[in-house]
Amino acid sequence: MSGQTAPWLTIIGIGEDGFSGLSETAKSALSAASCIYGGARHLELLQDGAKNISCEMKAWPSPLSKGIEELAANRGQNTVVLATGDPQWFGIGATLHRQFSAEEIEVIPHLSAFSLAASRLGWPLQSVETLSLHGRPLDTLRGFLYPGARIIALTSNGAAPGEIADLLADEGYGASTLKILEHLGGPQENVISCEAEEYSDQAAELNTIAIEAKPIPNTPVLSRTPGLPDSAFRHDGKMTKQEVRAVTLAKLAPIPGQLLWDIGAGSGSIGIEWLRAAKDTKALAIEPLEKRHVFIRGNAAALGTPTLQLIEGKVPEALDNLPQPNAIFVGGGLTSKGILKTCFEALPSGGRLVANAVTLEGEQVLVEGWKKYGGDLSRIAISRADPIGGLTGWRPLMPVTQWSLVKS
């Protein structure tokens, strides 16, 4: 196509089989390169074919951003970047595509660790939960556990399998089958298989974990559908209750990749359920009370959403300079001056705003917002069965007034 930029940056996936496992296209790109970047392990894997490579080979500097600056400075020169397996699957490919246009880049993938692991186990990859725990909190795994789940995870080092085994036992999944696949696709490939609660070894530094989740009896099963039991959260009594939370999340409508502001986060329950409900979502928990910060951090880790970001401060000041949200929940701070106006103006077209009130003062703010901006105003009344002497009756929770809208 006329005017289209020719690719000058080639990202090549490499496996444990090294240079010999590369395609002829990849080998040709290496031969034509003016410079090759990669991690120390990637460059070592090339040694068998080094006689065919005459250009400079550089290990990535620290921080990685320095290396990306070097790439940008040499834009237009034939450059190769080495990556593990498939560069577009939890690899450097995504990082480089944020810096350079797709027309400047050619990607030559190798088999990913996920594909290799699934082939060894006989698992249909489309039915497997695939995640990276490499350089990421292990607590993320907690959000993917359910009876019968099949999980393949990338790890950071040889200690990770033991830490994962401990986490599984802590969650009531110690009976799960754990497979540690070491050096997949290379001459040192090895598979260790055991129950999670029995594992007490040190694995090879390069390993991939496969888990077939099996809970012990009476282990609570936590769905990713919004409306977790109140008992799933540590809190001080000030939290959005289960039934109201489910209605609130339905109005917030979690969509993959979108950002939520959870204002007056309390225990963090709304932000946490938002993160659990859709892939790659983000959430900011804005909470002024220090005693609740411990609840938010603890609940986020325990429920598999360690990416929940805590913003400590009062509204509206705490909202200054935050990234634009796709949805906002106001569960506290309704009587702060101009809070609804600030939230409405922060939203893009199509953004969702949901605010709940249990006090007359808060309800008055919502009525005024409804009259000014439109949307829907409703009252949610929940009663739960409770013992009354030797009998049973309905014990009402405080009614909640809810205002919601989608910005046009």
The helix or strand, by DSSP H or E, that contains position 45, with its residue range, turns out to be helix 40-45
Mean pLDDT of 193-214: 95
pLDDT at 305 over 50: yes
Q: Give the closest residue to 92 by CA, choosing from 76, 78, 116, 71.
A: 71
What value, to the nearest 5°, has the Cα angle with vertex 396 and ends 395 and 401? 170
pLDDT-based confidence at 4, cuts 50/70/90? low
pLDDT in tens, 58-78: 999 999 999 999 999 989 999
Mean pLDDT of 264-268: 95
CA distance 370 to 406: 12
Confidence at residue 234, expressed as pLDDT on a 0 to 100 scale: 94
pLDDT at 5 over 80: no
Q: Considering the chain, tell me which residue range(s) the CATH 3.40.1010.10 domain(s) occupy.
A: 9-110
pLDDT, greater one: 278 or 238:
278
401, 379 Cβ separation under 8 angstroms: yes
pLDDT in tens, 212-261: 999 999 999 999 999 999 999 999 888 899 999 999 999 999 999 999 99
Determine which of 48-57, 248-257, 321-330 has the lowest per-residue pLDDT on average.
Answer: 48-57
CA distance 205 to 160: 9
Confidence at residue 47, expressed as pLDDT on a 0 to 100 scale: 82
pLDDT-based confidence at 201, cuts 50/70/90? confident
Please name the residue ranges forming H helices in 139-289: 160-170, 242-252, 269-277
pLDDT at 1 over 60: no
Q: Considering the chain, tell me which residue range(s) the CATH 3.40.50.150 domain(s) occupy.
A: 230-406
CA distance 112 to 184: 10
pLDDT at 192 over 50: yes
Domain 9-110 has CATH 3.40.1010.10: yes
40 conformational bin, left if phi > 0, alpha if psi -120 to 50, beta if neither: alpha
Mean pLDDT of 332-343: 93
pLDDT-based confidence at 2, cuts 50/70/90? very low
Measure CA 163 to chain center. Answer: 19
Mean pLDDT of 204-208: 96
The share of the chain scoring above pLDDT 90, in percent, equals 92
Mean pLDDT of the chain: 94
Q: What is the CATH number of domain 230-406?
A: 3.40.50.150
Q: Give the closest residue to 134 by CA, choosing from 59, 61, 199, 83.
A: 83
Confidence at residue 6, expressed as pLDDT on a 0 to 100 scale: 82
Domain 114-212 has CATH 3.30.950.10: yes
Q: Considering the chain, tell me which residue range(s) the CATH 3.30.950.10 domain(s) occupy.
A: 114-212
Listed as own residue / partner, the contacts of 227-234 with beta carbons closer than 8 Å and 24 or more positions apart are 227/273, 228/269, 228/273, 228/303, 232/299, 232/303, 233/267, 233/268, 233/269, 233/272, 233/295, 233/299, 233/303, 234/267, 234/295, 234/298, 234/299
Q: Which distant-in-sequence residues (6+ apart) come within 8 Å of 313 by Cβ? A: 286, 288
Q: Give the closest residue to 84 by CA, choosing from 25, 132, 150.
A: 132
Confidence at residue 237, expressed as pLDDT on a 0 to 100 scale: 85
